């Protein structure tokens, strides 16, 4: 299988002729810290959902390397279009995790200003972010900006028409965009084998741009491959499709029960390829990190978990009227009518101790 790998599941560093990577102990520790804090934050979000503090949560468990590696390959002036599971990428862009939780708590319409960190809003509908990304990338070219766009999608989304259209527009316009597919093997309960008969990365050939498959549980390979693709894009050489071969170790979302459709043995097989474990093994074997480093990091992770836990619980319920604002720039008759109906409904509970 053509799979770019720089760090084996056993934690051994290997070279790849096309993707040389020089990463010193400090950078390696930094990547591990990113992955561990992201994992801890993600676990806290699952717990908060179970406690009724969030409406839903889509965990990234197992995909930390794909997200931290690719996210850390971006420059501040690059622009990222995520789906709904890109919590690790958000972390690398400097988005406060509390903002992500606010969206899944349902107290805001998106949660952050996309231009603050060049990290677009989460998009639940699968497919459209790629079109948005290509349009944005074409705009960058017109402005002569010299930055690139990184766009995320899943194996399931790869079957959407939007994705094919995005590939066409990116190819013929030589747009500075990198399509990053996290092939985590599942689209809810549908296996990737129901989406495609050919490896996803090979589809790029039909559109006339390069496609590469990378070990999605190898943070170094994801970093090197994405960095190279973004450099190509910034240099005016057009799009690249990256397929990060990984695995969704948890359920699709907190509302899903994966034991109904997949075997425990499959999960166990991927647990052995854990992205954090292999980097930890490498750091220890090389003497790049000691037990004090891991102990301090564990404490930092607990502090982060405490901060998001307290922060989420303190989030005020929004004014229900907010739901109708920002739908259109100008007042819209239908929205106004719906707002009035809802206000009348709310009024029925007046004096009942503050419903809504
Ligand atoms: C256009 C559209 N159809 C259906 C859905 C419902 N849906 C939500 S997530 C999902 C599966 C997506 O799988 P994949 O693209 O592999 O991403 P993953 O969740 O595995 O990260 C589906 C079908 C949706 N959000 N958008
Ligand atoms: Mg998937």
Determine whether the shortest distance from the Cβ of 5 to ligand 1 is under 6 A.
Answer: no
30 burial (CB, 10 Å; 0-12 / 13-18 / 19+) is: middle
Mean pLDDT of the chain: 96
Rounded mean pLDDT, 132-147: 97
Determine the distance separating the centroid of ligand 2 and the alpha carbon of 286, expressed in angstroms.
34
- Residue 16 vs residues 3, 12, 30, 126, 174: alpha-carbon distances, Å: 10, 13, 22, 33, 27
For residues 3 and 321, the model is more confident at 3
184 burial (CB, 10 Å; 0-12 / 13-18 / 19+) is: buried
Among 122, 132, 157, name the best residue to mutate to test ligand 1's pocket (greatest count of ligand atoms within 8 A of Cβ): 157
| Statement: residue 1 has pLDDT above 70 | no
Determine the distance separating the centroid of ligand 1 and the alpha carbon of 333, expressed in angstroms.
32
Determine the distance separating the centroid of ligand 1 and the alpha carbon of 251, expressed in angstroms.
13
Determine the distance separating the centroid of ligand 2 and the alpha carbon of 188, expressed in angstroms.
7
Determine whether the shortest distance from the Cβ of 124 to ligand 1 is under 6 A.
Answer: yes
Rounded mean pLDDT, 166-182: 98
Protein residue with least CA distance to atom 25, ligand 1: 125
Determine whether the shortest distance from the Cβ of 127 to ligand 1 is under 6 A.
Answer: yes
Rounded mean pLDDT, 48-71: 98
| pLDDT band, residue 354 (cuts 50/70/90) | low
| Statement: residue 355 has pLDDT above 80 | no
Provide the pLDDT for residue 2: 87
Within 10 angstroms of residue 130's Cβ, the number of other Cβ atoms is: 30
**Terminal CA-to-CA distance of the chain, rounded, Å?**
55
Rounded Cα distance between 104 and 96, Å, is 14
Protein residue with least CA distance to atom 26, ligand 1: 125
The model's pLDDT over 184-234, given as tens digits with 9 standing for 90+, comes to 999 999 999 999 999 999 999 999 999 999 999 999 999 999 999 999 999
Determine whether the shortest distance from the Cβ of 295 to ligand 1 is under 6 A.
Answer: no
What's the half-sphere exposure (Cβ side, CA atoms, 13 Å) at 5? 19
Determine whether the shortest distance from the Cβ of 156 to ligand 1 is under 6 A.
Answer: yes
For residue 58, give the ligand 1 atom closest to its CA.
19
Catalytic residues: 248, 252, 261
| Statement: residue 356 has pLDDT above 70 | no
Supply 306's token pair. Answer: 């405490």
Rounded Cα distance between 323 and 308, Å, is 24
Determine the distance separating the centroid of ligand 1 and the alpha carbon of 248, expressed in angstroms.
13
Rounded Cα distance between 245 and 187, Å, is 14
């Amino acid at each position: 299988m053509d799979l770019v790998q720089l760090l084996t599941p056993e934690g051994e560093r290997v070279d790849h002729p096309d993707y040389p990577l020089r990463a010193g102990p400090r950078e390696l520790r930094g990547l591990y810290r990113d992955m561990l804090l992201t994992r801890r934050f993600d676990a806290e979000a699952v717990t908060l959902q179970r406690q009724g503090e969030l409406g839903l949560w889509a965990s990234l468990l197992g995909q930390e390397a794909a997200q931290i590696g690719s996210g850390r390959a971006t420059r501040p002036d690059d622009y990222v279009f995520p789906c709904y599971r890109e919590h690790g990428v958000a972390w690398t862009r400097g988005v406060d995790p509390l903002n992500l939780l606010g969206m899944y708590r349902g107290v805001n319409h998106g949660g952050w200003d996309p231009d603050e960190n060049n990290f677009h809003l989460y998009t639940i509908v699968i497919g459209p972010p790629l079109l948005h990304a290509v349009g944005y990338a074409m705009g960058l070219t017109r402005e002569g900006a010299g930055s690139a766009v990184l766009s995320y999608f899943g194996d399931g989304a790869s079957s959407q028409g939007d994705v094919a259209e995005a590939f066409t527009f990116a190819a013929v316009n030589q747009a500075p965009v990198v399509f990053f597919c996290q092939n985590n093997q599942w689209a809810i309960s549908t296996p990737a084998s129901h989406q495609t008969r050919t490896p996803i990365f090979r589809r790029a050939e039909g559109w006339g741009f390069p496609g590469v498959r990378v070990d999605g549980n190898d943070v170094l390979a994801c970093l090197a491959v994405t960095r190279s693709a973004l450099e190509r894009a910034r240099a005016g050489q057009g799009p690249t499709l990256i397929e990060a071969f990984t695995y969704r170790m948890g359920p699709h979302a907190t509302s899903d029960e994966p034991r109904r459709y997949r075997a425990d043995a499959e999960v166990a097989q991927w647990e052995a390829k854990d992205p954090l474990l292999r980097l930890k093994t490498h750091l220890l074997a090389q003497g790049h990190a000691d037990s004090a480093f891991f102990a301090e990091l564990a404490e930092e992770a607990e502090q982060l978990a405490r901060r998001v836990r307290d922060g989420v619980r303190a989030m005020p319920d929004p004014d229900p009227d907010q739901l109708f604002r920002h739908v259109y720039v100008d007042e819209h008759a239908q929205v106004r009518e719906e707002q009035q109906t809802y206000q009348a409904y709310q009024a029925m509970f007046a004096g009942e101790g503050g419903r809504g």
